[in-house]
Amino acid sequence: MNTFRGTGRTARLAATLLTAALAAGGLTVAAAPAAHAAASDVVAKLPISSFSALTVDSAHQRVYVADSNLGYYDNRGLIAVYDFSGERVTTITTPRHVSGLALNADGSVLHVGGRDGILRYDTSTYLPVSSAVAGTDTCGRSMAFAGGRAYHTTPYANSISDCETTLTYLDYNQADNTWQRSGWQDNGKLQLEAGPGDRLMLGQPANAKAPNPFLAVFDASGATPVRTAERRFADAEGKGAANLKDMAFSADGTRVAVADAAAGTRLLDTADLSDAASGYPALPEGAVSSAVAFSGDGKYLARGASATGATPDLLLSPADPADGTPALEFAFEGSLDGDRVAPRGLEWSADGSRLFAVTTNATGGQYWLHVVQPPAVQYATRFTGGLTHSPAQAVAGEALAVRGRLELDGPAPVEPLRVTATRTDAGGTHRLGTATVKADGTFSVLDEPELVGEATYTVSFLGDLTHRPATDVTHTVSVGRAATSIALTAPAEAAMSTGVHITGTFTAQGKALPERAVLKVERTDRLGTGTLSSVTVAADGTFTVDDLPRARRNTTYTVSWPGDDLHEGSTASATVRVTR
């Protein structure tokens, strides 16, 4: 089952999922309760065994998912059509395999990359309206609609095994349904992406014939595409080349995000494809970038990944990298959700109200469509009443609780939020992990301060897509040394001939001593005071003092320990009447 949450440093937002089978569409739904203001996630099992393209028709609220079905030239293709609620509307079957998908500017025509040409379907009736010739495709096309025309790639190989490195051409269709070769070409499964302002992007995945693959941006407004920027990523030693999985233009077209399986999420300036001044945080450890998409309203960036277990496979972040609001994370785990986001498997609705994500299992033989609705608003948060601590006297090495209250506007989250905490002392700043915020807003941060002196606790709530960050709250605690004690058990009377036998117990609170304590022993009698042999405390805290007194009458034995950096010293005495 998938979980969605704030980043590891912030709040987990997972809603209790409601699962129901909708027989009419063969749909399995997992949705957050209506009272939850965070993202909701509806999931449909796709009727495909391979995946080649995803496109979204916002004008008619339709989602198209193509099953490439490569492998044999006569294989039929399939396009599954869904509405924005995740219900399957229809299925389009094509005479031969299909790959790329692209919608014209008003969403009235769906362009489909077929084996032998470009198929076109009316998006109101799902019926074919016309087709255009194209070069034969045996490996899978990529398609994009830019500058008023449909662009497509044309790879050809004698064998599927050659598709990763075969020569691929960038072509486009003419008004008379013929096709034109643009002259741009290179090895591998070249990928296309359209952007605002008649922009077109061409990306080259890494392959054996392209050790330093490229990314290029074109102006597609004229009769032929004109390259305006290009970049290869390897350094002088050939290291650092991009491993392209997906690419996307920002809503205004000024930035490009790249899903790079080697480097994570790259953010580039469209004008020259140089690295943007500020980038996005790294994906969680163990997550390999697979997809990327900006929302049409400019608010969000979606990043897909291949990850295992509870490591997030999908992150929704503010599109502005300067906005530190933590990402909303989804971890897909198992037969109800898939295990990872498929490469190029993310698309938004034009208004940014929905994200559509295609996930797959570990073997790549099953697929799911997720319909994710980010929250519409963010609510304010604040810490109230400052922080307190208990016990009143903090002691090095002993448990200390720092308590506070986080106040939230808006509806209560289905799952508790979490705050993060740090302790700053003479040894530096130490992360203390997270603490759960209870229903009444209170929380307790548990710690064992390690050093004597002042310790300043800082508690943060970094926000999520539903709640804005709160201003940090701090609290300074004076940490003292831990107490120690010595207890002695001695006889009231002893003879000089048999000696004095005293037993004792040494107790140290706080952090355990690095070594067993060595106690100083002094004897005071009528002849004066002298130091006896020291005694070492056993592992269970016990020790013994044995002595042959030198004089009769009262003799006092004093046992002491001087203390250390983290512990107070202690002393104890016992008086024995000594007889002959």
State the Cα torsion 357-208-279-327 to the nearest 10°: 30
DSSP string of 146-211, one letter each residue: ETTEEEEEEE--SSGGGTTTSEEEEEEE-TTS-EEEEEEEEES--EEEEETTTEEEEE---BTTBS
Average pLDDT, the chain: 89
Does the pLDDT of residue 289 top 50, yes or no? yes
Report how far residue 149's alpha carbon sits from residue 170's, in angstroms, rounded to the nearest whole number.
13
Q: What is the pLDDT of residue 538?
A: 96
Q: What is the pLDDT of residue 235?
A: 85
Hey, do 381-480 and 484-579 end up sharing a CATH topology, with the first three levels equal?
yes
Best CA proximity match to 475, nearest among 435, 545, 413, 425: 425
Does the pLDDT of residue 13 top 60, yes or no? no
Q: What is the pLDDT of residue 236?
A: 81
Residue 207 burial by CB count (10 A; 0-12/13-18/19+): exposed, middle or buried?
middle
Question: Mean per-residue pLDDT for 376-384?
Answer: 83
Does the pLDDT of residue 92 top 50, yes or no? yes
Q: What is the pLDDT of residue 199?
A: 97
Q: Tens digit of pLDDT for each residue in 401-429?
A: 999 999 998 878 877 889 999 999 999 99
For 290, the token pair is 């697979």
Is 328 within 8 Å of 39 (Cβ atoms)?
yes
Tell me the one-letter amino acid at 400. Answer: L
**Percent share of the chain, pLDDT over 70:** 92
Report how far residue 524's alpha carbon sits from residue 531's, in angstroms, rounded to the nearest whole number.
9
112: helix, strand or coil: strand
Kindly report the CATH number that applies to the domain delimited by 381-480. 2.60.40.730
Q: Tens digit of pLDDT for each residue in 228-285?
A: 999 999 988 888 899 999 999 999 999 999 999 999 999 999 999 999 999 999 999 9
Report how far residue 161's alpha carbon sits from residue 334's, in angstroms, rounded to the nearest whole number.
30
Q: What is the 3-state secondary structure (H, E, C) of 287-341?
A: CEEEEEEECCCCCEEEEEEECCCCCCCEEEEECCCCCCCCCEEEECCECCCECEE
Q: Tens digit of pLDDT for each residue in 163-215?
A: 999 999 999 988 888 889 999 999 999 999 999 999 999 999 999 999 899 99
Residue 159's pLDDT band (cuts 50, 70, 90): confident
Q: Which residues are bridge partners to 576 per DSSP?
A: 555
Best CA proximity match to 41, nearest among 56, 60, 59, 28: 28
Q: What is the pLDDT of residue 377?
A: 67
Report how far residue 186's alpha carbon sits from residue 76's, in angstroms, rounded to the nearest whole number.
28
Q: How many CB atoms lie within 10 A of CB 491?
A: 11
Report how far residue 111's alpha carbon sits from residue 101's, in angstroms, rounded to the nearest whole number.
6
Domain ranges of the chain: 39-373, 381-480, 484-579
Q: Tens digit of pLDDT for each residue in 122-149?
A: 999 999 998 898 999 989 999 999 999 9
Mean pLDDT lowest among 72-76, 329-333, 556-560: 72-76
Q: Kindly indicate whether the domain formed by 484-579 is annotated with CATH number 1.10.760.10.
A: no
Domain 39-373 superfamily per CATH:
YVTN repeat-like/Quinoprotein amine dehydrogenase (2.130.10.10)
Q: What is the pLDDT of residue 470?
A: 87
Strands 528-531 and 518-525: antiparallel
Is 259 within 8 Å of 290 (Cβ atoms)?
yes
DSSP string of 33-80, one letter each residue: -TT--S-EEEEEE-S-SS--EEEEETTTTEEEEEE---SSTTPPEEEE
Report how far residue 357's alpha carbon sits from residue 315's, in angstroms, rounded to the nearest whole number.
11
* Cross-sheet strand order for the sheet of 500-508: 484-489, 500-508, 542-547
Q: Could you give the angle at the alpha carbon of 367 between the alpha carbons of 298 and 188, nearest 5°?
A: 75
For 208-215, the CB contacts below 8 A with 24+ separation are: 208/164, 208/165, 209/165, 210/165, 210/186, 211/238, 211/241, 212/238, 212/241, 213/188, 213/241, 213/242, 213/244, 214/186, 215/242, 215/244, 215/247, 215/256, 215/258, 215/268, 215/273
Is 349 within 8 Å of 84 (Cβ atoms)?
yes
Instruction: Give buried/exposed letters for 363-384 (b at 16+ CB in 10 A, else e).
Output: eeebbbbbbbbbbeebeebebe
| C-alpha 578: how far from chain center | 74
Q: What is the pLDDT of residue 39?
A: 55
Strands 191-195 and 179-187: unpaired
Residue 376's pLDDT band (cuts 50, 70, 90): low
Question: Mean per-residue pLDDT for 315-343?
Answer: 88
